[in-house]
Amino acid sequence: MYHAHGFHLNPNLYHCGHVCLSLINSWRGEKGGKWMQNKSTILQLLVSLQGLVLNDIPYFNEAGYEVAPDKMTPVKLQKSIDYNEKSFFLSCKTMLCKMRNPPKHFESFVTGHFQRRAKYILASIEAYESGLCLVGDYKEDGPSSSKPYLVSAKFKTNINKIYQDLKVAFDKIEKSAEITSNSESANNVSQSNVAATQSVAKIASELQKPKAIAKKQKGSKRKGVWKKFASVLASIFK
């Protein structure tokens, strides 16, 4: 199960949070593809999720839709492109849900992730919306092709709206990060001031010690003189 937020992102990732994968015994599969106690590993699971679920053409993950590269047709390819557009749009909606309601104890992780990736996410949306590259093909160093691609009107409408919502959410995260940073800086300055004050007080105390010692010694000396004088008087009037 995972936090799906009600979105069916992928043939293997259901809107209810169910993950369909033979390795975790949630889908039928060959014996070697199922979880085997004392043999299967978490690494194997992660690699399977990355390669079999989170791939470039999830449309063909659907049972019965599998197709060999040499059997690909323009119609099937277009369906895959349309599916990617839908999945990307739902992924953007998932991002909004994650930022608005991050998993408990992972708040700082979510905030930090989107703070680092915000500009790339927005840039990819701009590239897809303008047809600079197919959904999923965006590279951080620019479009992978100079050839313009045809983008569906529905995708353009949906992605334009979500773009604005994401931008607002990213701006809030950035402002929140600035406030936190300023607060931490203020706390650091305050702590530095306290430390400096304590250091000055300690130094002043150390400087006062010789005076206090001298004063004490002087007082003791005077006390000794008066004691001797009293002793002399006592002997006179004895």
Catalytic residues: 20
Return d(Cα 33, Cα 135) in angstroms, integer. 30
59 and 83 in contact (C-beta within 8 Å)? yes
Structure tokens at 166: 């994401």
Structure tokens at 196: 């400096």
- Residue 81 has a CB neighbour count (10 Å cut-off) of 20
Structure tokens at 3: 């936090």
Minimal CA–CA distance to 125: which of 168, 82, 99, 155?
Answer: 155
**Cβ neighbours of residue 197 under 8 Å, at least 6 residues apart?**
none
Judged on CB neighbours under 10 Å (0-12, 13-18, 19+), 215 is: exposed
- Residue 128 has a CB neighbour count (10 Å cut-off) of 25
Return d(Cα 226, Cα 232) in angstroms, integer. 10
To 5 degrees, how large is the angle CA 119–CA 57–CA 49?
80
Ranges of H-type helices in 69-152: 74-100, 107-129
Return d(Cα 3, Cα 30) in angstroms, integer. 28
